[in-house]
Amino acid sequence: MATGSLPSAQSSWSLSPEDKPILIAGGFILVILAIGTAYTLATQGTASFLSPVYLLQQLQVGAFLGIVAAGMMLVILLGHIDLSVPWTLAAGAMLGTAVGGPYAIPVGLGVGMAVGLVNGLGVAYLRVPSMIFTLGVNAVMRGFMVMLTGGFAPQSIATPLMSFLATGHVLGIPMPLIVWAVLSVLIVLLLQRTSLGRYIYAIGNRERAAYLSGINTRWVIIFAFVMSGGCSALAGVLLAGYSTNAYQGMGDAYLLPSIAAVVIGGTHILGGRGRYLGTVVGTILIVLLTSVLSVMQMPEAGRQIIYGSVIILMLLVYGRQRGATG
Q: What is the largest CA-CA distance in the chain?
A: 75
Q: For the chain, which residues make up each domain, given as ranges? A: 54-325
CB-based contact 111:95 (threshold 8 Å): yes
CB-based contact 266:22 (threshold 8 Å): yes
Task: Please tell me the distance from the alpha carbon of residue 177 to that of residue 51, in angstroms, as a whole number.
Answer: 17
What's the pTM value of the predicted model, to 2 decimals? Answer: 0.90
Strand partners, 173: 170
The per-residue DSSP string of 39-91 comes to: HHHHHHSS-GGG-HHHHHHHHHHHHHHHHHHHHHHHHHHTT-----HHHHHHH
Task: Please tell me the distance from the alpha carbon of residue 185 to that of residue 77, in angstroms, as a whole number.
Answer: 17
Helix (H) or strand (E) holding 309: helix 300-325
H helices present in 171-299, as ranges = 175-193, 195-205, 207-212, 217-243, 255-264, 276-295
pLDDT of the chain, 326 residues: tens digit per residue: 444 443 333 333 456 667 788 888 898 899 988 888 888 888 777 767 778 888 898 899 899 999 999 999 999 999 999 999 999 999 999 999 988 889 999 999 999 999 999 999 999 999 999 999 999 999 999 999 888 877 666 667 889 999 999 999 998 899 999 999 999 999 999 999 999 999 999 999 999 999 999 999 999 999 999 999 999 999 999 999 998 888 888 998 899 889 889 988 888 888 888 999 999 999 999 999 888 888 888 777 776 777 677 667 766 765 555 444 44
- Beta carbons within 8 Å of 50's beta carbon, 6+ residues apart: 33, 36, 37
Domain 54-325 adopts which CATH fold?
ABC transporter involved in vitamin B12 uptake, BtuC (1.10.3470)
Residue among 132, 138, 142 at smallest CA distance from 115? 138
Strand partners, 174: 169
Task: Please tell me the distance from the alpha carbon of residue 116 to that of residue 229, in angstroms, as a whole number.
Answer: 4
How close are the terminal C-alpha atoms of the chain, in Å? 26
H helices present in 100-168, as ranges = 104-124, 130-149, 160-167
